[in-house]
Amino acid sequence: MADLNIQVDQHDINLIKDDLRHINNGMPTAVIRSINRAVDGVKTDMVAVARKTYTVKATAARKNITVQKASSGKMVAWTQSKGKPINLIDYKVSPSTVQPKRKTPITVEVIKGSRKSLKHGFVAVMPSSHKGAFKRAGKSRLPIHELSGPRIEDLYARPENQKVLQDGADTRLTAELGRQADYIFKQRNGLL
């Protein structure tokens, strides 16, 4: 995934400085909280971008996303998505239940609006309680291989999706800076 760069505008910093100048650690606290809220929002936006194109379940998309939050010692936060391809069962598989006597092939829709028949595919639950979409390696019953869909990380690197994620992060950070500065000011002055 290409990197997103979230920066605090100097104009916003000057406003926060003026509002919180008499509050001990007010400005750093507001900036850290704002960055952390913005980076959480980026994670939400990443899931939305993935679900706009793919039928992937939100929990499966979220599993591959890591968030590192800012702290007073390190005013840097990041969101990263990496991992192996997502199991096919976490996309739209029909039927998604185990049906051992099924004669017709299961269907899969990975890209929205593009449903395909999966010849010789089936849904099974392993003894470990893991449910997945599988296909036999040959004509015999075993071995079987679990099927997976595409990596969603490739979507995030597309320029149009980078722009959506960047714009969302910038908007969120600007809004949060004002909100956090206002909250800290009211909290420290007993106005809450």
- Is 128 within the bounds of a domain? yes
Q: Are residues 128 and 49 part of one domain?
A: no
pLDDT greater than 80 at residue 21: no
- Phi first, then psi, for residue 74 (nearest 5°) are -145, 100
Q: Are residues 130 and 77 part of one domain?
A: no
Q: Are residues 157 and 74 part of one domain?
A: yes
- Is 1 within the bounds of a domain? no
**Per-residue model confidence as pLDDT tens digits over 24-67:** 788 888 889 999 999 999 999 999 999 999 999 999 999 989 99
Q: Are residues 108 and 53 part of one domain?
A: no
- pLDDT higher at 112 or 104: 112
Give the Cβ contact number of residue 68 at 10 Å. 13
Residue 2 — pLDDT band, cuts 50, 70, 90? low
DSSP string of 93-150?
EES-S--TT--SPEEEESBTT-EEEETTEEEEE-TTS-EEEEEESSSSS--EEE-B--
Structural domain for 58, as ranges: 10-83+152-188
Average pLDDT of the chain to the nearest whole number: 88
Highest-confidence segment of 2-6, 147-151, 185-189:
147-151
**Per-residue model confidence as pLDDT tens digits over 121-155:** 999 999 999 999 999 888 888 899 999 999 898 88
Q: Are residues 98 and 62 part of one domain?
A: no
Report the amino acid identity of residue 69: K
Q: Are residues 132 and 117 part of one domain?
A: yes
Structure tokens at 88: 């096919």
pLDDT greater than 90 at residue 84: no
Domain count, the chain: 2
